[in-house]
Structure 1
């Protein structure tokens, strides 16, 4: 397996943290749909997550497959390590 920089791990951790907040806010909003501040925080974190993922994928390659991420040429999703392996 390739050796990865500390930046790789740091950026992946930022994505995981943003996605955790998105999931928690979504669960909260299931029972509090009228909480405007929570909806605003949710939308802000979704945007943050998307931005972090876009930057990560541009630098390191796809996080997911099956149409959720673009690929470089040649198709590079087969390249290790995959995010769940680190």
Structure 2
């Protein structure tokens, strides 16, 4: 479970780090498909990323347009985005 007191920047850091770990572990598993330790680590990182993503979007809004509902259609990208100098 994610810490409810985490700020936007901290949640984004968890998402970014978990995403990197997933990509790196997937590459390792491509050549070591039976490594149980790597599989367990991959699953743990997947859960971590999913929980951080869910908490981020619940508190701060969608990270991609795939998560936009009809209620806030195209409102998700108002203001400067984090890569444009907006709040992270």
Q: Smaller-chain TM-score range?
A: 0.7 to 0.9
**1:32, 1:80 → 2: CA distance?**
44
Partner of 2:3: none
**2:44, 2:70 → 1: CA distance?**
28
Normalised to the residue count of structure 1, the TM-score between the two structures is 0.77
Q: How far does the alpha carbon of each residue in 1:16-57 deviate from its partner, in whole angstroms, 9 at most, with x for none?
A: 011111111011101110101101110111111011000000
Gaps of 5+ in 1: 1-5
Contact map agreement 1:63 1:83 (CA 8 A) in 2 = no
**2:27, 2:83 → 1: CA distance?**
24
Contact map agreement 2:11 2:56 (CA 8 A) in 1 = yes
Please tell me the root mean square deviation across aligned C-alpha atoms, in Å: 2.0
Shift of 1:73: 2.6
Gaps of 5+ in 2: 1-5
Partner of 1:3: none
